[in-house]
Amino acid sequence: MPLRPRSVVALVLVALTGLAMFLWPLLVGPGSTFSGDAAAPLFFALCLPLLIAVVLAEIAEGGLDVKAVAMLGVLTAVGAAVRPLGAGTAGFESVFFVLILGGRVFGPAFGFVLGSTTLFASALLTGGVGPWLPFQMLAASWVGLGAGLLPRVRGRAEVLLLVMYGAVAAFGYGFLMNLSFWPFTIGPDTAVSFVAGAPVAENLHRFVLFTLATSMGWDLGRAVFTGILIAVTATAVLGALRRASRRAAFGVPARFGDGD
């Protein structure tokens, strides 16, 4: 799926803004509005959907035709259906391989949209709608986007590349989601607590300890499980998606009344 220059600019802007919204605990000053306000994630949760909507609209205008929307709907439904099978138990998330393989075949723009729509549809299906959802959507969008930006190799090298990327992306997703709620999870007087205005290195050290103590098992399970799913399914799924892409002639405008 093609990316116009305006779409690239929109993606870069939402990426930078999204990073700021995830990383604010490491940058906030002691007198900031967000330094001890539990409403901060709610504020960001209201802003993020607007940013995502701008990017989705821009990408849709430039590269998503009817055929691409149909494929997006199919993969979104598959991702939303398989996600509850893992339910995050011990980190066994079963949705990331769909985002990675879809983004790999159809490109970074498609991968970005697929991440948002899949997490949104899954939340509606499982009743997981809350202030955390926009953060999940944006983080998942980056997973699909990154898969579409990987170097172009084929065969076993491609599968190995996707397995390694899946493991790294799974850890990155958990890292970002931890950052989104870490300042409000525990009290202020522990070795892993967020300290507003502390040096970045100190807060980062506290956050790493927090991650090791609370979610490393889940993140490791997510990384291993995602890597295994990609290793087992990549050859067959990539082949099927590429055959569908060729037959649908993505990027070629659909014509009616030509006898087809």
Q: What length is written for the chain?
A: 260
Q: Which residue has the tokens 């995602």?
A: 226
Q: Domain segments of the chain: what residues?
A: 5-248
With beta carbons less than 8 A apart as the criterion, state whether 3 and 251 touch.
no
Backbone φ and ψ of 112, nearest 5°: -65, -50
pLDDT in tens, 205-227: 999 999 988 888 888 888 998 99
Residue 247's pLDDT band, with cuts at 50, 70 and 90, is confident
Residue 258's pLDDT band, with cuts at 50, 70 and 90, is very low
With beta carbons less than 8 A apart as the criterion, state whether 96 and 173 touch.
yes
pLDDT in tens, 157-182: 999 999 999 999 999 998 988 888 88
Angle between helix 200-214 and helix 216-248 axes, rounded to 10 deg: 90
DSSP 159: H
pLDDT for residue 52 is more than 80: no
pLDDT in tens, 99-137: 999 999 988 888 888 998 899 888 888 777 777 888 888
Residue 27's pLDDT band, with cuts at 50, 70 and 90, is confident
5-248 folds as: Arp2/3 complex 21 kDa subunit ARPC3 (1.10.1760)
Q: Which of 62, 57, 50 is nearest to 4 (CA)?
A: 62
Residue 65's pLDDT band, with cuts at 50, 70 and 90, is low
> Where do runs of H (alpha helix) occur along the chain?
5-27, 40-63, 66-86, 96-106, 108-126, 133-148, 156-181, 200-214, 216-248
Q: Which of 171, 169, 214, 166 is nearest to 190 (CA)?
A: 214
